[in-house]
Structure 1
C-alpha cells in the first residue's frame, strides 16, 4: 500500500457528536483532542511524513465566548496528557497560523511542545491554529511585495516559488474531511491543487486508526494524472 507523504484533515463534527449524545459541545472537543493522539500515533506508524490538522480557523473566533475559551485551553490539556507519548514515538510537533491572538498561556504551551520535539525525526504533527488559507496567501504576497520594494529580489515570482512564502510549502497528497460536510472551509487552498479528496460521514471523535487506513486504501485506488494521461 502506497502511503501519502502529506495528509491534511479537517476535523469536523465534534459538536454534533456531543449533541447527539446529550453532552455539551466541550465534551465533543475533548474527545476530538483525544483522537488527535490516536491519529498522530497511527500516521507515524504508517509512515506518513506530515499530518496537518485543522484545529482552529480564523473564523472560529465567531463562536460563543465560552466555547472559544475552552478551545484555547485544549492545547494545554492535550500536551500535558500526551506530550511524553509523542516524544517516545519520535513525533515532531509544529504549527501553522497566527498564534499571537491566543492567550499567552496557550502560546507558551504550543511553543514548548514545538521546542521539545524539534529534533524528532518521525511524523510531523502540524496543528493549524488561527489559520485561514486566504490570510496565508495574503501574508505571503505581502512578504514577496516587500522584498521587491526593498530590491531584495526581482518581480519575477514563479508558481513553484510562491510556496516558499506560505506557512505550508508541501503539496497535500490526501485531504480528508470528517462528519459529512463537503467543502474546504478556507483550509490549505493553494496546497490542495492536486490533492485527492475524501469526505467521510464519520465524525472526528469516531475517526480512528482504521478509518485512516480505509482512507489511505481509497487513496491508493485513485488515478493521479496531474492533468496528463497515463500511458
Structure 2
C-alpha cells in the first residue's frame, strides 16, 4: 500500500514538474501556455492588439465580431494559414478602455467565481461574450488594468492556477495566469492582465497635441 501511494505521489509530482517546465519557457521569459501560441501584445496607434494561435480550435471559415459594450472594439477568429488551429485577435480601442460607460459595468470575477489575480477586490467591471467556437470570453477593465479571459476547454488539469509576469520585449506589462478546470470540470483558461497606465498617459499626450 505504501509503495502504491509513493508511486501515485511521484506520478503527480512528475506531472506538475512537466507542466511547470512547459509553462515557464516562453519567449522573453513569458509563460508558454499549452495549446496556445502567444499571446502577443502590441499598441498600434489608438488600439491595443492582442493576438494568439489556439491550436485546439479548428474552424472552416473566419469572422469578425463586435465586442458588446465596447463601441470601437472587435475580435477576429480565422483559420491559421501557417499551421494548425485558429488565429484569435482582439483589437481593443483605447477610447473604449478609458470610457466611463465601460467602467460602470457590473464588477465580475473570473468565470466560475474565481478571483482575478493581482486585484485586491478580486473583481473588475466586465463584459462576457461568446462566439461559435469559443464560449464565455470576457473583457475586464479597471483604473489601470485591462484584462482578457480566454477559455481553454481542453486544458484538463484540475484545480491548477499559476501566475507569471508577462513581458513585451524586456518590459513587464502585466501578468498572465493559467487556470485548470474547477471542481465541476469547467472554466479552464487563462487570464491576461495588462497595465494600461502608460497607454493612458500616451493617450492624454496625443489628445493634448490635437487641442
Determine which structure has the larger helix proportion and give its number: 1
TM-score normalised by the chain length of structure 1: 0.26
Taking structure 2 as the reference length, the TM-score comes to: 0.28
Higher strand share: 2
